[in-house]
Structure 1
């Protein structure tokens, strides 16, 4: 049943938000634990770093293809159907980890679980528009949602560390996530969703995604998301390598640098939800992008003595950027197209999550050290900061956001 076939209105907004928060936290537990799982994969299967890195690339590829290929389902079949479909596939693949021991089998499951994430995430992102009261409220809600993603990124690696310390396999993380997913499916079935404004669901298909991908606003926000993800991956993929063996001032920070980054990123997203409900999003975005650039430049100029403090601190400023770009990129479109647009932005996001760390690794190998990968990341941060400042001065999306506030949220 499509959303347009249900009675509009209604729905318990609090329960819907809670479900959405838990979905993002649940899948972040798995996607952001890859960094601590890969060393175990290298050890178990005697692999090189490039081959073991496919654990990350398989998931990101699945999310990208699931988002861009099936994102239109949220608009055609309805948010509830799409979310339950994606959660169901994710639950099956996550629980299947308990019965798999082959490397290729793991990759297949990771790709399928990634595709499932792409499906239910686009449904959830479209649903945020249905429960928002304005484009500004949409952005604040998106930051809160991503805050729970940040919490999952902290919990997941902690669970893996506990499992390994107790002699258990890292695979049980996926089983835990699968069980949580079953609970989320039950909740999703029980919750009444608000009716979405979809007048032409029958015409929504993959071509809708292609039309959205050609829109200059969708492309601009997608490219912005790509730049941000390129900068962020430098931290959670390569910062541990950059700081490995550091014994200078603040050496204790090197041991916990990645954990500090994730904690600040999560905390910053909740703070960002509060800030963006009160300040111009263009101003907040420009300040945060400039602060990220300052952290990276300071890390290069000051060497590892500065990087050990500045790179983890960048998480506080990174926290706001992606959910804000994602929210504005989606909310400049009518709600009837939110699923398709979310799929487009998600595709570019995951594409960058694969390409950027590969490029940084290649540059580092060619030049002789991880610092050169951070030179590339700093270049991306410079472009991102310039784009954010230009966006502050020109505010090209202002008129379109105002039009959507009037047509999509006025009631």
Structure 2
């Protein structure tokens, strides 16, 4: 087995999906501008993406090993490539819905395959963690690249033009590179166990977990976090364009600061956790998020960035709002880590299923609520609304901490 070729294939595939998945905010803005849809209508794109991830990841998790990871990855990339070629020729909102449904389905297959293949090319926990972090780092690089790739195809002087859809021809070419890298990679078919559990059995195991108080409060916390992240991240390009009056291309480029802030926040949190407890860090981050929202949003009133030509000329408030991502960044990984370490190892797969499902539901809910409030009231009202889930998270994280101190969860953690 050639681990380098496999690593390249995994990295290329994740890079592609990082661009696709996180383009939803940009596509929502452009659908509003060029396809004549309302903000409420455009917000459903998040649902087509997230719900397909949740449903497909659950349905196919136990089936993918039977067909082989390589075939599954090739099939996922092929579907996305075909949809990328179809979108510019049709140029209608319904095909964007179909595109994000295809992206969600394909990413569910890809994520399960990639995480499983990483185990094939690593032989100890340190190497596994190192490769996984490398792949996730490439994912974040794809997120940042995506904003700039889309901005290249948008005419700031004619934002109503549908020529921006030609970006999907370039994306199809990038997907093709990933496809051939996977094709060339010596990815092994998994060895199947004779006593492998059925999908029904896996589903029942997952449902049983929800009866545990710790899992229930975790689900609420994860749901609230993703509601905030997707609500802000998805609608930030539209906020920059319609509230701050920035040109479309600059609005999208500026939104990349949110992804950069998330990446930096997670790197910094890894170092800070050497000195303070996870609970102290989470509470501090939540309070900082609330303060930032209250301080920055009043600065966005009466801002007119219509004369701005580049990201270096934008008003101060436009730089500050994406920084909420810096304080938001550590919350989700920390909650997941504490939750999984509080359960026995044989329950991790079922718990991961719950994480994926409720994260997807939270993302969809956040985008739709934010889009509705943005449409009916204003962008400021929509972003002020994030104070509600932030306040609820302060409560649920406190309860979460209290439950993890119970003897049965501390015993599970020490058994790990």
For the pair 1:385 / 2:397, whether they are aligned, the reply is no
Q: Which residue of 2 aligns with 1:229?
A: 226
- The answer to whether the Cα contact below 8 Å between 1:42 and 1:48 also exists between their aligned partners in 2 is yes
Q: Which residue of 1 aligns with 2:46?
A: 56
List per-residue Cα deviations over 1:303-359 (Å, max 9, x = no partner). 769965553222112223334444555676677776654443222112112112322
Q: Which residue of 1 aligns with 2:412?
A: 400
In the TM superposition, 1:12-411 aligns within 5 A as 12=3, 16=6, 18-74=8-64, 79-127=69-117, 131=122, 133-134=124-125, 145-165=135-155, 169-192=163-186, 202-215=196-209, 216=212, 219-239=216-236, 244-246=242-244, 258-272=255-269, 281-282=278-279, 284-299=281-296, 308=318, 310-326=320-336, 341-363=351-373, 368-392=377-401, 395=404, 398-403=410-415, 405=416
Aligned-partner Cα distance in 1 for 2:96–2:299:
41
- The answer to whether the Cα contact below 8 Å between 2:61 and 2:112 also exists between their aligned partners in 1 is yes
Aligned length: 387
List per-residue Cα deviations over 1:287-318 (Å, max 9, x = no partner). 43443333234446877699655532221122
TM-fit CA distance, 1:158: 1.1
Aligned-partner Cα distance in 1 for 2:171–2:349:
24
Aligned-partner Cα distance in 2 for 1:220–1:129:
30
Aligned-partner Cα distance in 1 for 2:124–2:22:
31
Q: CA RMSD in A?
A: 4.2
TM-fit CA distance, 1:382: 2.1
Identify the range of structure 1 (96-105 vs 350-359) with the bigger mean alpha-carbon deviation: 96-105
CA distance 1:290–1:111, change in 2 (3 Å): same
Aligned-partner Cα distance in 2 for 1:145–1:273:
17
List per-residue Cα deviations over 1:84-105 (Å, max 9, x = no partner). 4433433333343354334333
- The answer to whether the Cα contact below 8 Å between 1:75 and 1:204 also exists between their aligned partners in 2 is no
SS in 1 for 2:378: coil
CA distance 1:96–1:385, change in 2 (3 Å): same
TM-fit CA distance, 1:162: 0.7
- The answer to whether the Cα contact below 8 Å between 1:212 and 1:344 also exists between their aligned partners in 2 is yes
Q: Structure 1: 5+ residue runs without aligned partners?
A: 1-9, 248-252, 406-411
Aligned-partner Cα distance in 1 for 2:72–2:348:
13
List per-residue Cα deviations over 1:33-71 (Å, max 9, x = no partner). 232233433344332222233333322232222223223
Q: Which residue of 1 aligns with 2:312?
A: none
TM-score, scaled to structure 1:
0.74
Aligned-partner Cα distance in 2 for 1:240–1:45:
16
- The answer to whether the Cα contact below 8 Å between 2:58 and 2:353 also exists between their aligned partners in 1 is yes
- The answer to whether the Cα contact below 8 Å between 2:10 and 2:135 also exists between their aligned partners in 1 is yes
TM-fit CA distance, 1:114: 1.6
CA distance 1:327–1:68, change in 2 (3 Å): farther
Aligned-partner Cα distance in 1 for 2:96–2:252:
29
Aligned-partner Cα distance in 2 for 1:218–1:294:
29
Aligned-partner Cα distance in 1 for 2:344–2:184:
27
Identify the range of structure 1 (81-90 vs 348-357) with the bigger mean alpha-carbon deviation: 81-90
Q: Which residue of 2 aligns with 1:4?
A: none
Aligned-partner Cα distance in 2 for 1:330–1:192:
31
TM-score, scaled to structure 2:
0.74
TM-fit CA distance, 1:208: 0.8
Aligned-partner Cα distance in 2 for 1:330–1:190:
35
Aligned-partner Cα distance in 2 for 1:60–1:35:
13
List per-residue Cα deviations over 1:369-390 (Å, max 9, x = no partner). 3333334311211222343344
- The answer to whether the Cα contact below 8 Å between 1:267 and 1:316 also exists between their aligned partners in 2 is yes
CA distance 1:43–1:360, change in 2 (3 Å): closer
